[in-house]
Amino acid sequence: MVNKMRESLIMKIHYGTALGAVALVAVHILMRLTQNFAESLEYANVIANYQFLPYAGMLEIILILLSIHGFNGLRVILLELKQGKTYEKAVSYGCVAAMIGLIAYGSRTIIMVNMGMI
Amino acid sequence: MTQVPSIAEEQASTPLSSAKSTTLRIARFNPEHDDERKFMEFTVPYEKWTTVLEAILEVKKHFDHSVAVRYSCRQATCGSCGMMINGKPRLACFTKISELDSDVVTVEPMNNFPIIRDLAVKFERLFDTHHKIKPYLIRDDSEITSNEKEFLQTPEEVEQYIQFSNCIKCGLCNSACPTMATDSSFVGPQALAQAYRYVADSRDKGKDTRLKIIDDSHGIWRCHFAGSCSQVCPKGVDPAMGIQFLRGYLLGFRS
Amino acid sequence: MEPQDENKEGIGGMINPRRYGIERVAYLLMRLSGLGLLAYFIGHIYETSSILKGQVGWNEFLAMTQTNEGHAILAIVIAMCVFHTVNGIRVMLGHGGVGVGKPARPDYPYDPASQNIKHKIGIYSAIVLAAIAMMYGLAVMYGE
């Protein structure tokens, strides 16, 4: 599936995720500045952030956007360093697997805290 | 019988009015029997106008005729004499020793091109990538078969592609490109700029064909606008500009 | 027959920004900041999952990161993030053909129109904004 995707579509996704992440990460960082920085990192405040559904939703979207953007960037760098059919397939599928893995791991945290399962 | 002057006695071709001299370090490597590159140093006189190519030919004439170098027109038209001069790809005939501002001039074969010997490199990959993007007008009719006498273009239409048609296939851009430094499959700035040259030509109808060719994991998307190709181009082709315009077609900014 | 050495510069060519101007430096910094941010992102996702261990786990995580080393790393991450973002926007605009000049008949000294002052200002702005953001971040982290 990965190899059949046109590179222009992959790059449009790369640019789109970049622009989306810029906006949302700015919000995420500004949240730490609405209160005193150290206070904003206290356990109770962080839990409150996660349990506020729109914020949790935003974190989930950031996770997906940055995972896609980051691992696609890594894929591009690795493809430029070495070439070959097997290597390129391994890099492409490896990056997709890492992407999915990281999204799954991060989503687990967001969902469990949001649902109060700690 | 006239005595043939020895090399030591023979005068240099360049008049020694200013008596300035520079050290020319030439990379020597013959893949048939050398394991690694060596440098040989020669002291060469030069004037304000002496080019690196003239200095190399001076070495060939008076010191070591076996130095392999490719050159032809000596006026930055043929693109034959591309080489690394003090670490940057340049045309030897277009680079004056005085403008390098250095006591030592190091010349090496262009990066990212396989070496034949010394300063001469193989151009097969450049020719292959250039050929890949179909560097000719693609259309069903021709000026012979069509009803029109010739395919007319306005000066404005010519202006869209004329700078990219100045490419002399010297390969300096491919040598400077950071992607070409590691990616053996990358099409290269020269081919991409030529792809744009034809896409931008109003007489051409092969835009979709060429866009499909370069829309590849080692095509246009491996260009990251580092701009080194344009920095080294001796003819003002500015491949980076052409590549970004070409990308605009794939991203939907241009149609 | 042995395949001939392609005489590629290799990674040394990719990471050597010295010869080609600020645009090449920006290309290198973009790659480095991207890799750095990816590494930080993976670490961040891993570390913030410590909240699942409750208050104890979360405080352990804070004890590890609210240190001088942690603040220094975060300051560098802030700089990388701002540079990557601002330069990324510049590159995206360039990729769309914005600010790369217009085709014209070349004339000596054949200065490339795409390597123009607009993109140079974009690059220097990215570097300056990254430095400012880093200093602001340090002020916030150490200011309390």
Q: What is the CA radius of gyration of chain C?
A: 21
Please name every residue paired with B51 in a beta bridge, in sequence order, or none if there are none.
B96
Give the per-residue pLDDT at B7: 45
- Structural domain containing residue C25: 21-34+68-100+112-142
Residue C21 in contact with partner chain B when CB distance is under 8 A: yes
Pairing type for strands B120-121 and B115-117 reads antiparallel
In this predicted structure, the answer to whether residue B5 has a pLDDT above a threshold of 50 is: no
In a domain, A2, yes or no: no
In a domain, C135, yes or no: yes
**Yes or no, beta carbons of C9 and B181 under 8 Å apart:** yes
Chains within contact range of chain A (3+ C-beta pairs < 8 Å): B, C
Sheet strands (E) in B10-94: 20-28, 38-46, 82-85, 88-91
Give the per-residue pLDDT at B29: 94
Count of domains forming chain A: 1
CB neighbour burial string for A15-54, b if at least 16 within 10 angstroms, e if fewer: bebbebbbebbeeeeeebeeeeeeeebbbeebbebbeeee
Compare C98 and B14 and report the one with higher pLDDT. C98
Give the per-residue pLDDT at B172: 97
Residue with tokens 């790393």: C73
For B194-237, how does the pLDDT look when each residue is reduced to its tens digit (9 = 90+)?
Answer: 999 999 999 999 999 999 999 988 999 999 999 999 999 999 99
In this predicted structure, the answer to whether residue B11 has a pLDDT above a threshold of 60 is: no
Residue with tokens 């032809």: B72
- Structural domain containing residue A95: 7-114
Residue B211 and residue B181: Cα distance in Å, rounded? 24
Roughly what angle, to the nearest 10 degrees, separates helices C22-48 and C54-65? 150
In a domain, C106, yes or no: no
For C58-114, how does the pLDDT look when each residue is reduced to its tens digit (9 = 90+)?
Answer: 888 888 888 889 999 999 999 999 999 999 999 999 998 889 999 999 888 889 999
Using a CB-CB cut-off of 8 Å, the residues of chain A touching C88 are 18, 22
| Pick from A79, C64, C32: nearest CA to B217 | A79
Residue B254 and residue B100: Cα distance in Å, rounded? 41
**Yes or no, beta carbons of A12 and B215 under 8 Å apart:** no
Using a CB-CB cut-off of 8 Å, the residues of chain A touching B218 are 79, 83
Domain boundaries, chain B: 20-121, 124-251
Q: For the domain B20-121, what is the CATH code? A: 3.10.20.30
Using a CB-CB cut-off of 8 Å, the residues of chain C touching B234 are 110
Distance of CA A117 to the CA centre of its chain: 22
In a domain, A71, yes or no: yes
Q: Tell me, which fold does domain B124-251 have in CATH?
A: Fumarate Reductase Iron-sulfur Protein; Chain B, domain 2 (1.10.1060)
Mean pLDDT of all residues in B95-100: 95
Torsion, Cα B195 B200 B206 B209, to 10 degrees, reads 50
**Yes or no, beta carbons of A37 and C141 under 8 Å apart:** yes
Question: How many residue pairs from chains A and B have C-beta atoms closer than 8 A?
Answer: 34
Give the per-residue pLDDT at B143: 72
In a domain, C25, yes or no: yes
C-beta neighbour count of B165 within 10 angstroms: 15
Q: What is the ipTM of this complex?
A: 0.89
Using a CB-CB cut-off of 8 Å, the residues of chain B touching C4 are 31, 114, 122
**Residue B3 — very low, low, confident or very high, per pLDDT cuts 50/70/90?**
very low
In a domain, C81, yes or no: yes
**Residue C2 — very low, low, confident or very high, per pLDDT cuts 50/70/90?**
very low
| Pick from A83, C119, A19, C108: nearest CA to B244 | C119
Q: What is the CATH number of the domain that holds A42?
A: 1.20.1300
In this predicted structure, the answer to whether residue A5 has a pLDDT above a threshold of 90 is: no
Residue B91 and residue B235: Cα distance in Å, rounded? 10
Distance of CA B190 to the CA centre of its chain: 9
For B111-149, how does the pLDDT look when each residue is reduced to its tens digit (9 = 90+)?
Answer: 999 999 999 999 999 999 999 999 999 988 877 777 777
Give the per-residue pLDDT at B13: 55
Question: How many residue pairs from chains B and C have C-beta atoms closer than 8 A?
Answer: 146
